[in-house]
């Protein structure tokens, strides 16, 4: 550990090129704060433009990193295909969220963009590290930014309550995770979970302490991914937050967290020792329970946003299944993420557009709207079909690939857990039909007598949503196009 200071400096300077996309975000974050303070009053939307430019720069540097595989900052920063693609997806979807915010909350929104950039930065950190310290910093950056976002536009009690709940639950989970990390550091003496020292430490440690430490650490990640039993915050928060923020929360933080978790699982599950077995069991059980709870609870929801919260819990279960079935290739996990992002963003834009028209997110308010907004609801139905996983949509291909990889695990190991995952995954797909199809059920099958006066429905957002829907179908028929890029 006694490296001379010039050496350290050299390494830091050498690592800076790897950090360009994030540097762009950091500079953009600071610039956006100042724009919001000084320029926003004179030129509206200037912060929005600053945000988009920042993300554009970040995107530009990311594309430059596409073929790079390197580590920097003494092994704390990893740049590989995983991290680069994950960050690309994060930045692209953040652009959509930024447009979403600009369209729906055009007043008093200056600071929201800098917070959005900060959250993006956190996600970048999460997806390109295997070091616990960085991982924790990433989780906290995303979390704190999310707390502010949830509370930012709150103007009634439920919204404030949602923000408060989120903060409390998040802080407790973070504290628990930190405690777990301290135990792990004590056991191993190294915080890089891919290092040999770290694994050796875990192999030697007593079982009871390992169990405790691992579960504590998983609690922190579980909060971000909202898998069972750390999911209880998400329905309230999703329902309470403004739709644009919900779209953000349900999609983007999960990308970073799942990448970190996948890296962790990959290095931890590959040994024959107790902690690997424990991780595998934990993973299987949590994935099964998450799929079941998410899909079953969604059945009873009467509010679309709340239903989507449970649906996203269900999808987390499938994401965990994808992580479980990790092979030497990560493209199908990335494919699932791409599919999930496409579907979720489109769904929330539709929900928002309908909310603009009817002022409600309850399923009952959708009654008979299919006739009045035929194109919107047709597209919405197509996205719902994709969420269930019925061809010819991207959701089906994504699900098929997860099933495929899980099956190959089952075939090679004969593991009952893998089989159970498959069966539960298939059954919950059938269950999910019930609640996703409530949308076309209310919109098309039922008719209402209440006259709904429709405002003009054309906007940038709707166009984006239709493009996303088209991609959902297109990538479902030609998954090659995505896979060739990802592979």
Partner 1 sequence: MGLLSILIFLPLVATLLILVLPTSAKATYKYIALGFTFLQFGLSLYLYGNFEASLGGIQQLEAYQFVEQLSWIRMDLGAIGKLEIDYLVGVDGISLPLIVLSTLVMLMGVGASWNIDKSPKGYFALLMILNTAVMGIFSALDFFLFYVFYEVMLLPLYFLIGIWGGERREYAAIKFFIYTLLGSVLMLLIIVGLYFSVINPVTGAHTFNMLHMMNPANYVDGSFFAYIANYHDVFGIPARLIGFIVLFFAFAIKVPIVPLHTWLPDAHVEAPTPVSIILAGILLKIGGYGIIRVCYSIFPDIAATTNWWLALIGVVSILYGALNALAQKDLKRMIAYSSVSHMGFVLLGIASLTAEGLAGAMFQMVSHGFLSAALFFLVGVLYDRVHDRYIYNFRGLASLMPKYTAYVAIAFFASLGLPGFSAFIGEAFVIIGAFNAESMTTGVPRWMAIGGSIGILLSAAYFLWTLQRMFFGQTRLQGGQVWKEALTDLNTREQVILFPALALALLLGIMPSLVFSNLNASVLQLIDLIKPYL
Closest CA to 336 of 266, 390, 394: 394
Q: What is the DSSP letter of 189?
A: S
Q: How many helices (H) and strands (E) does the chain have?
A: 21, 2
Does 449 bind partner 1 (CB under 8 A)? Our answer is no
Q: CA separation (Å) from 481 to 82, 200, 232, 332?
A: 18, 41, 37, 13
The set of residues, in sequence order, having a beta carbon less than 8 Å from that of 156 and lying 6+ positions away, is none
Does 332 bind partner 1 (CB under 8 A)? Our answer is yes
Residue that has been written with the tokens 């709870």 in this structure: 293
Phi, psi of 325 (to 5 degrees): -85, 25
Q: Rule CB under 8 A: choose which of 321, 429, 435, 471 binds partner 1.
A: 429
Does 466 bind partner 1 (CB under 8 A)? Our answer is no
Cross-strand pairs, 362:
303
Does 396 bind partner 1 (CB under 8 A)? Our answer is yes
The smaller minimum CB distance to partner 1, of residues 254 and 399, is found at: 399
Closest distance to partner 1 from the beta carbon of 467 (Å) = 18
How many residues contact partner 1, by CB under 8 A? Answer: 42
Q: Rule CB under 8 A: choose which of 135, 170, 253, 440 binds partner 1.
A: 440
Does 299 bind partner 1 (CB under 8 A)? Our answer is no
Q: CA separation (Å) from 240 to 105, 110, 152?
A: 16, 21, 12
| 216 contacts 179 by C-beta, under 8 angstroms | yes
The set of residues, in sequence order, having a beta carbon less than 8 Å from that of 96 and lying 6+ positions away, is 345, 464
Does 459 bind partner 1 (CB under 8 A)? Our answer is no
Give the Cα separation of 290 and 281 in Å (integer). Answer: 14
Does 446 bind partner 1 (CB under 8 A)? Our answer is yes
How far does Cα 340 stand from its chain's mean position?
9
The smaller minimum CB distance to partner 1, of residues 39 and 441, is found at: 441
Binding flags for partner 1, 373-392, as an x/- string (CB under 8 A): -x----------x----xxx
The smaller minimum CB distance to partner 1, of residues 248 and 396, is found at: 396
For the chain, state the CA radius of gyration: 22
Binding flags for partner 1, 344-373, as an x/- string (CB under 8 A): ---------------------------x--
Does 287 bind partner 1 (CB under 8 A)? Our answer is no
Give the Cα separation of 454 and 234 in Å (integer). Answer: 31
Closest distance to partner 1 from the beta carbon of 337 (Å) = 16
Mapped onto helix, strand or coil, the DSSP state of residue 457 is coil
Give the Cα separation of 232 and 253 in Å (integer). Answer: 16
The smaller minimum CB distance to partner 1, of residues 233 and 435, is found at: 435
Does 270 bind partner 1 (CB under 8 A)? Our answer is no
Closest distance to partner 1 from the beta carbon of 487 (Å) = 6
Per-residue exposure over 271-298, b if at least 16 CB sit within 10 Å of its own CB, e if not? eebbbbebbbebbbebbbbbbbbbbbbb
Q: Rule CB under 8 A: choose which of 434, 452, 466, 473 binds partner 1.
A: 434
Q: Rule CB under 8 A: choose which of 37, 364, 430, 454 binds partner 1.
A: 430
The smaller minimum CB distance to partner 1, of residues 134 and 482, is found at: 482
The smaller minimum CB distance to partner 1, of residues 4 and 412, is found at: 412
Does 483 bind partner 1 (CB under 8 A)? Our answer is yes
The residue ranges that bind partner 1 (CB under 8 A) are 327-329, 331-332, 371, 374, 385, 390-392, 396, 400-401, 403-405, 407-408, 410-411, 414, 419, 422-423, 426-427, 429-430, 433-434, 437, 440-441, 444-446, 478-480, 483, 487
């Amino acid at each position: 550990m006694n490296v001379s200071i010039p050496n350290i400096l050299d390494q830091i300077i050498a690592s800076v090129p790897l950090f360009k996309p994030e540097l762009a975000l950091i500079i953009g974050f600071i610039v956006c704060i100042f724009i919001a303070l000084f320029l926003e009053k004179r030129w509206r939307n200037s912060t929005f433009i600053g945000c988009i430019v920042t993300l554009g720069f970040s995107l530009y540097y990311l594309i430059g990193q596409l073929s790079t595989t390197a580590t920097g900052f003494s092994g704390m920063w990893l740049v590989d295909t995983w991290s680069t693609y994950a960050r690309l997806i994060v930045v692209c979807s953040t652009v959509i969220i930024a447009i979403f915010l600009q369209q729906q909350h055009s007043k008093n929104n200056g600071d929201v963009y800098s917070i959005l950039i900060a959250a993006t930065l956190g996600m970048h950190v999460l997806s390109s590290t295997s070091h616990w310290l960085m991982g924790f910093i990433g989780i906290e950056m995303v979390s704190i930014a999310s707390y502010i976002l949830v509370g930012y536009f709150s103007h009634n009690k439920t919204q404030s309550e949602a923000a408060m709940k989120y903060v409390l639950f998040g802080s407790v989970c973070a504290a628990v995770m930190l405690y777990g990390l301290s135990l792990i550091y004590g056991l191993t003496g190294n915080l890089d979970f891919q290092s040999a020292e770290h694994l050796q430490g875990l192999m030697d440690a007593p079982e009871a302490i390992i169990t405790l430490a691992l579960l504590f650490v998983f609690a922190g990640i579980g909060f971000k991914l909202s898998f069972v039993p750390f999911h209880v915050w998400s329905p309230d928060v999703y329902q309470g937050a403004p739709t644009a923020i919900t779209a953000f929360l349900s999609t983007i933080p999960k990308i970073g967290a799942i990448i970190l978790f996948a890296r962790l699982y990959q290095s931890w599950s590959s040994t024959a020792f107790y902690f690997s077995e424990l991780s595998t069991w934990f993973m299987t059980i949590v994935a099964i329970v998450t799929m079941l709870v998410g899909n079953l609870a969604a059945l009873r929801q009467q509010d679309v946003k709340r239903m989507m919260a449970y649906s996203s819990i269900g999808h987390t279960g499938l994401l965990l299944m994808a992580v479980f079935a990790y092979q030497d290739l990560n493209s199908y996990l990335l494919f699932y993420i791409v599919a999930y992002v496409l579907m979720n963003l489109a769904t929330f834009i539709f929900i928002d557009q309908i909310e603009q028209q009817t002022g409600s997110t309850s399923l009952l308010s959708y009654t008979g709207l299919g006739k009045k907004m035929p194109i919107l609801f047709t597209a919405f139905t197509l996205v719902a079909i994709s969420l269930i996983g019925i061809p010819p949509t991207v959701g089906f291909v994504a699900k098929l690939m997860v099933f495929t990889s899980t099956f190959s695990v089952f075939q090679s190991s004969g593991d009952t857990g893998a089989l159970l995952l498959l069966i539960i995954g298939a059954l919950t797909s059938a269950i999910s039909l019930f609640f996703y199809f409530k949308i076309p059920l209310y919109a098309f099958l039922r008719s209402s007598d209440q006259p709904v006066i429709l405002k003009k429905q054309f906007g940038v957002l709707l166009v984006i949503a239709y493009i996303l829907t088209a991609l959902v179908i297109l990538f479902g028929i030609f998954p090659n196009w995505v896979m060739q890029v990802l592979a």
